[in-house]
Amino acid sequence: MYAVVEIAGTQFEVEQNDIIRVPLLDGEPGDTVEFGNILFTGGDESQNIGTPYIEGNVAAKIIEHGKDDKVLVFHKKRRKGYRKLNGHRQRYTKIEITDINI
């Protein structure tokens, strides 16, 4: 069974025991978090579409927090001598899906 769940404004397709990277969540490694915004569930024969959400939750365990690779943002205006370089590292949380309750 799999589900499409909304986590921090982004949709993820998850199954039990999947490990995914999501935008930074509150909590410490080892904590359990639950997500209630389930948009779609599917399995071998049955499918369920939410209007807009399905009753139930997806439980996950926080594995670690980290930072992605650096993203460079470069601005330039032609013939003006204007150049500007900025960068940032987006923070993420790695979680393991433990249970899908519908």
pLDDT at 74 over 90: yes
Structural domain for 59, as ranges: 2-101
Number of domains in the chain: 1
pLDDT tens track for 26-56: 999 999 999 999 999 998 788 999 999 999 9
Residues in CB range of 91: below 8 A, 6 or more apart: 23, 24, 65, 66, 67, 68
State the pLDDT at residue 43: 86
CA nearest to 10, candidates 31, 39, 33, 32: 39
pLDDT tens track for 50-68: 999 999 999 999 999 999 9
State the pLDDT at residue 21: 97
11 pLDDT band (50/70/90 cuts)? very high
Residues in CB range of 46: below 8 A, 6 or more apart: none
